[in-house]
Homo-oligomer: A and B are copies of this chain.
Amino acid sequence: MVDLTPEAFRTLGYQVVDLLANQMATLPDGPCRRPVPDEVRDALLEQPLPLEPQASTDILERFTQLVLPYPMGNAHQRCFAGVNSPPAPLAVLADLLASGMNPSVAGGDHAATYVEHAVLRWLTQLLKYPIDSGGLFTSGGSVANLIGLAIMRHVKATTNTRANGLWAEATPLVVYTSAQGHSCIEKAVELLGIGHTYLRKIPVDAEYCMDVEKLRTHIHADRTQGLRPVCVAASAGTVNTGAIDPLNAIADICAAEDLWFHVDGAYGGVGILAEQTTDLFNGMERADSLAIDPHKWMYVPIECGCVFVRDAQAMRDTFSLIPPYLRDDTQMPWFAEFGIQQTRSFRALKVWMLLQQLGEQGYRELISRDITLAHYLQERIRTTPNFELIATGPLSIICFRYAPLGCNDLDTLNRRLLERVQQEGHTFFTSTELDGKLVLRVCIVNFRTTEADLDFLLEYLAKVGLHIRKEVL
């Protein structure tokens, strides 16, 4: 009953492929996203624990009715919410193959292990990061950044924290990020027992990049107070605006002050591939640890994060439960020795396949294209009446507002506008807060988006805005 004959699997598999193919066919003309109707939500939430076995076809039918029509929506050409790209169709099928083979890539002699090693090397080459660094696929950026900071703690502590915890450490360690750094840095600092009191959120400049003079000032002030500055976690593409901190200047400070240089490039790190922005990533190669998320801007399905650590030995020393004197250097070490997970899925396969389908060249073109589209939208916003451009990051995120003259409460106006847009489903995006203002945030990480979609976006917002404006004012 739990098993299927190969023939039954084939039949059901074709049905599942058809469901997704049909979804792809109707996607462009359908809504970007449908709010879940109350009765569907209740049917899902309240379905009792199934007691008796049910036929696969009935289950697929229920899925088709209740689940498939209500995705989060990032496959649609006018989904601009967040920095998770739509998945390339081949990468979706790679996930099927990974689940079908079902290896645990903890390590050992099987194909998935070698594929992961190869893909990690390819990524270091693309990112211009040292080829002999330690690397690991993770569930996403939160864990990739956590692993980077865990290794930092292991290296920078004055005592053996794996053995003794932080109890024997005389002085609190201090970590620096920018006020626009991702919240997962704060989560990591908390989980590691450092505490967010010892995470300094350095103010940003007008471009939302870390102010390195203020960073220097904070480091010296902390030393004066008897604390131990140990790490700067810079952003190579914030998720709010795509701002890239001045990496070389921060690397210089880290070198001068003996701090660990971590770069969170979860969203933006692959911007190094685009000719327009590649120079902004100078200095990223100096990072002690680097997080990037292929599921953000490399067009593979969720989940796929990645962390690289310059000192592979430090990475292993932080996590391996095999004592150094028992390590067999004639064998490849297990991935489980380099991170938190033991059982690990075959995330590398989708990146392996997609990197072959696109080639380095294809990736460069796609990333570059998204940035060109973002610049196009920025320019349209600048020249369209009643819109105000708030942030012009160099990558593919645009923050703006609907700002008709005479409106005193732009936050309320834009919040209502966004609610209406999200309800109607012709396009989908969210808001963020910048300098205390609510702003609309559009992210372009989508190979299906065209200039026409961006033209539609602005024209549609202008039309809805006019309507809402009458209601609000």
Contact = CB atoms under 8 A, between A and B. Distances in A.
A115 B67 contact: yes
A366 to B, nearest CB: 6
A166 interface: yes
B97 A344 contact: no
A385 interface: no
A184 B23 contact: no
Interface in A126-177: 126, 139-143, 146, 150, 153, 161-167, 169, 172
B6 A108 contact: no
B102 A357 contact: no
Contacts of A416: none
B103 A72 contact: yes
B4 A90 contact: yes
A64 to B, nearest CB: 10
A342 B13 contact: no
Instruction: Name which of A1, A74, A93, A186 has the most chain B CB atoms within 10 A of its CB.
Output: A93
B54 A357 contact: yes
Nearest to A154: B190
Nearest to A100: B20
* Interface size classification for chain A: 35 or more
A101 B92 CA distance: 9
Contact of A21 (B6, B142, B163): B6
A192 B161 CA distance: 10
Interface in A3-25: 3-10, 12-14, 16-25
Interface in A286-302: 293, 295-296, 299, 301-302
A313 interface: no
B340 A187 contact: yes
Given A68-B97, A72-B110, A153-B193, 14 more contacts: A5-B24, A16-B96, A44-B114, A49-B126, A53-B358, A53-B362, A58-B356, A72-B112, A84-B104, A87-B100, A139-B303, A150-B191, A161-B195, A184-B342
13 contacts: A49-B360, A71-B101, A71-B110, A72-B103, A98-B301, A139-B341, A163-B196, A167-B195, A184-B342, A191-B192, A193-B193, A193-B194, A295-B343
